[in-house]
Structure 1
Amino acid sequence: MPKPSPSPKRRGRLLRFGAACVVLSAVAGYVVVQYVSGGTDDPGCRVVSGGAGGATYEFTPEQAVNAATIAAVGTDRAMPERAVAIALATALQESGLRNLAHGDRDSLGLFQQRPSQGWGTEKQVTDPAYAADIFYEHLAKVPDYTELPLTVAAQRVQRSGYPEAYAKHEPDATVLAAALTGTTAATLTCNGRSAADATATGPEAVRAALARDFGRDALQQAGAENGARDGAQDASAASSPAPEAPAAESSGRTVTLPVTENTTAGGRSVGERGWQLAHWAVANASALRIERVSYAGREWVSGNTDSRWRATGSTSTEAAGSTGAGGGAGGVRIVTAQ
């Protein structure tokens, strides 16, 4: 004989018990994730506009590293901030600021560039610094691109099937470009918790990453001593600093990048250059295990959920360089985990 079906009352109890188990499992999973991640949630990085009550954009450490590379390559080419905003909006649309190893047909990388269309080899277009550089090379050939609507300028380079899509990223790209070119001060923060795959640490890793993004000439002017962007794989081979700029100072876990009139590039002010380097270091904090960055009387320390830039109490530097557009103070001090 077939077993009798559970009574409606018993079925209700079973359903309630099952639902409770699902809820408890979800709560337990959340607690475990919070414990493992130190209580922080993605995305982990945040940038705000320089004005009071301005726009905010939140993004992941992976996106922060790629955005910082795009901005660094642009300023190394003496491209204006508008060009950096166009490049960032394009990468946000094409890849979400992720270095993709796939795409439509043979599209690859941050900008989904196609080797078959002459953008470079697969290896090249998946190198963020190369991809950004060749994007700017094409953008510079667009007549009056700084006066064009962002979506038009981006489309002249990309030839996308959906040109209107770039426009929606303009607000975020504009705020991000201002921070990563140093126009706004102390506006980019990250929680700084080390990425699981962060294996490059110490001052040499910081120098290699700087060489990768800013290139040899810019780093010589900034006092750093490692090789060119296209030779970043062997950046441990030191190059001679420019005569007028002192070499970057290293002491244990600390790298200090001098920021003076001799270290600026592309007509940028001392303060802008300093804040660009400082924000670059924060954007790379998770990947390079950077614990502390200080510049112009402000300091960022990793591991805090707010990770705000705080005054260091240094009266000699607090006034100078307090805004990206003016002044500057000494150098950018980067302290690594080891």
Structure 2
Amino acid sequence: MRPRFSRGVITIAIIVIVLAVGISVGLYHLLKSAPRLAAVPDAYCTVNTPGGGVSLLPEQAQISATIAAVAARRRLPERAVVIAYATALQESKLQNLGFGDRDSVGVFQQRESQGWGTKKQLQDPVYATNKFFAALVKVKNYRKIPLAEAAQAVQRSAGGYAYAPHESDAKILAAAFTGRVPQSVHCWYPPGKTPTPKAKATEARKQLARALGSVAITTKKRGWLVAAWSVAHAEKYALNRVGYSGATWSNNLEVEGWEAGGAAGDQRVELS
């Protein structure tokens, strides 16, 4: 004789089975998606202009911004910035290296033994960039001669031909970091840092002034230079937002680039 079950028992059994299946499916999808949820990317920066795009590490973006700021302080043309970028890309990949061939160090791999400065000085990107530009402006017709020839006249490298292949990327970087092409620099760093205290923004402006001189915004191009510098240094100074001329950059992984809104005027770059 087969056992008989009441409708209530059968109903409860069905509910239990449905719940078990639902929980199993839910756990499956949760576990399946867990690696993706945990895979937070590393900090990065991108530069996008009509001439093309370049991907950078935050340190590379910071050095690029510093080179452009020093050039602006010295009132140098964009061609000088292009030459500096191509040189730095070849010598250090736009990184502030503490080592190199023999006693070469820093962004431009300058040597203490050749009179460029002390090792400590040469690992200061502002100092190293000033020394590079001081030598570059002494090169006759540096604005018109081939880039590799101008760079080699400064560096006196064993392989001066190696600078030329970097000219295309150098032009993209120069267009962005000099401020000539607005809204072209974007960076992102992993969340978790507290909102920027006022002191952080103050320190950022202080360090910018060291490279640029006055941080006063006298032209829109200069304003976009300051904005690009600020975005490049966002991780270093825990900046979550930069606003200028009706556009805003924010440290948001879901937003790639600048959005409309924010600071409406052209006389100040807002940091927060």
> What TM-score results when the alignment is normalised by the length of structure 1?
0.65
Letter in 2 for 1:59: L
Q: Deviations over 1:144-181 (max 9, x none)?
A: 10101111110110011111111111111111111111
Structure 1 residue 193: Cα displacement: 3.5
Alpha carbons 1:300, 1:307 under 8 Å: kept: no
Q: Hey, which bits of structure 1, 4+ residues long, moved more than 3 A? A: 192-196
Letter in 1 for 2:97: L
Letter in 2 for 1:278: A
Written as runs of structure 1 = structure 2, the 5 A alignment for 1:124-273 is 124-193=121-190, 202-215=200-213, 218-219=214-215, 222=216, 259=217, 263=218, 270-273=219-222
Give SS of 2:87's match: helix
Q: Deviations over 1:174-205 (max 9, x none)?
A: 11111111110101101144799xx9961232
The aligned counterpart of 1:290 is 239
Give SS of 1:64's match: helix
Give SS of 2:143's match: helix
CA–CA separation in structure 1 for the residues paired with 2:188 and 2:141: 39
The aligned counterpart of 1:277 is 226
CA–CA separation in structure 2 for the residues paired with 1:195 and 1:133: 36
Letter in 2 for 1:137: A
Classify 1:284/1:121 alpha carbon distance in 2 versus 1 (closer, same or farther; 3 Å): same
Structure 1 residue 212: Cα displacement: 2.7
Higher relative contact order (CA 8 A, sep 6+): 2
State which of 60, 74, 78 in structure 1 corresponds to 2:75: 78
Identity, % of aligned pairs? 46
The aligned counterpart of 2:17 is none
Letter in 2 for 1:120: G
Structure 1 residue 100: Cα displacement: 0.6
Query: RMSD between aligned alpha carbons?
Result: 2.5
Alpha carbons 2:58, 2:232 under 8 Å: kept: yes
CA–CA separation in structure 2 for the residues paired with 1:307 and 1:205: 26
The aligned counterpart of 1:330 is 267
The aligned counterpart of 1:235 is none
The aligned counterpart of 1:304 is 253
Written as runs of structure 1 = structure 2, the 5 A alignment for 1:47-126 is 47-49=47-49, 51=50, 54-126=51-123
Give SS of 1:211's match: helix
Letter in 2 for 1:65: Q
Q: Looking at CA atoms only, which structure, 1 or 2, has the larger radius of gyration?
A: 2
